Amino acid sequence: MKIDIKSMLPEELEASFSEIREPKYRAKQVFTWLGKGAVSFDEMSNLPKSLRNTLNERYYITVPKVIRKQVSKIDGTIKYLWELSDGNAVETVVMTYRHGNTVCISTQVGCRQGCAFCASTIGGLVRNLEPSEMLDEVLFSQIDSGLDISNIVLMGIGEPLDNFDNVVKFLKLVNHPDGLNIGMRHISLSTCGLTEKIDKLAQLNLQLTLSISLHAPDDETRTKIMPVNRGRGVDELIAACKRYYERTGRRISFEYAMIDGVNDTPFHARLLAEKAKEAGAHVNLIPLNYVEERKFKPSSRENLEKFVKILENCGVNTTVRRKLGGDVDASCGQLRRRAAKTTAEN
């Protein structure tokens, strides 16, 4: 069995290379090549030929294939569908802003959280992504688009905290000074609220931005649309957010998709304001995106405006998310796994 070399940190490479009696500096050379998007050992021209052959026998380099690339005519947002080495497919979105380019990556093939409004969970979880595969989403989006990526959001397909160890390894890889060197403060991780994993993440004190997909401030509404709320509850989640903030000093952000007649009444706004203040959180309202298979509708503009006013009157820091990539179905919650085969036919 060959080893997935792009999932290894330099110190792990050093340890692995010592087994084949290679000096430490070779690990740094190989790590640097991989961070530049090398697709074979043969192109690593500063390594002796004999070493390149040995590496070829012991390790493999993951290389995703672009199955489909769509570019929004409205705002230039790019959506990639990649084929992974086992034939599975995931999506990555590149958003261009004046202050820099952001890549939105998937962390799993599918998702098992079952949120009622989200397309990514239809069909359940297929498998976790490896650290190398998440790194490839950033690396090859950058190479293919020619855009410098300065920010990463873990807000694509999958629940990042449900793939905890691989996600943390990916964060260390992408943050490494000899690799892509993207600062933790330029990375946001979004979770549906696995409280025990939020505590585990807090212990690592990574300085990234944590977003919580709250979507409802009361148990009755939240349990209806987010099965993860069962057995945990909103208060347990808010308590975990407070602990996270205390431990890391990093302010949390609440994601809140406005769903017509479900979570958009003044009652919800007032209770949300209370919870946000308790957790010291900022609120990011998202107009619900239309998903064909789901029965939900976005809130009216009038309800959205009323909702914002209540939050602001309560002194809560609130933003309304701008919609990007609308014409290529690249907006929040619209990414979903499709068999590589069916999509290639489209």
Residues with catalytic function: 91, 332
DSSP code for 320? E
Is there binding between residue 130 and ligand SAH (CB under 6 A)?
Answer: no
Contact status: 291 vs ligand SAH (CB under 6 A): yes
Least distance CB 228 / ligand SAH (angstroms): 8
Write out the H or E segment, with its range, that includes residue 101: strand 100-104
**Residue range at the interface with ligand SAH (CB under 6 A); choices 44-52, 115-123, 198-206, 303-311:** 115-123
With binding defined as CB under 6 A, does residue 257 bind ligand SAH?
Answer: yes
Query: In DSSP terms, which residues pair with 211 in a beta bridge?
Result: 190, 253
Please select the residue that binds ligand SAH; options are 22, 83, 137, 159, rule is CB under 6 A: 159
Binding residue for ligand SAH, selected from 31, 80, 117, 170, defined by CB under 6 A: 117
Rounded to a whole number of angstroms, the minimum distance from the CB of residue 115 to ligand SAH is 6
State the Cα–Cα distance between residues 210 and 198, nearest whole angstrom.
9
- The span from the CA of 17 to the CA of 76, in Å, is 43
Distant-in-sequence, close-in-space partners of 222: CB < 8 Å, separation ≥ 6: 214, 215, 216, 229, 234
Instruction: Find the helix packing angle between 131-145 and 164-175, rounded to 10°.
Output: 40
Q: How far is the CB of 25 from ligand SAH (least distance, A)?
A: 39
User: Which stretch in 45-53, 114-122, 238-246, 306-314 sits in contact with ligand SAH by CB under 6 A?
Assistant: 114-122
194 touching ligand SAH, by CB under 6 A: no
The interface with ligand SAH within residues 271-290 (CB under 6 A) comprises 286, 288-289
Q: Which amino acid is at 118?
A: C
- Under the binding rule (CB under 6 A), the answer on residue 217 touching ligand SAH is no
Q: How far apart are CA 168 and CA 124, in angstroms?
A: 23
Number of other CB atoms surrounding residue 342 within 10 Å: 9
Q: For residue 213, state whether it binds ligand SAH (rule: CB under 6 A).
A: yes
Q: Give the residue among 164, 165, 254 at the shortest CA–CA distance from 216.
A: 254
**Site residues (vs ligand SAH, CB under 6 A):** 115, 117-118, 155, 159, 190-192, 213, 255, 257, 286, 288-289, 291, 332-333
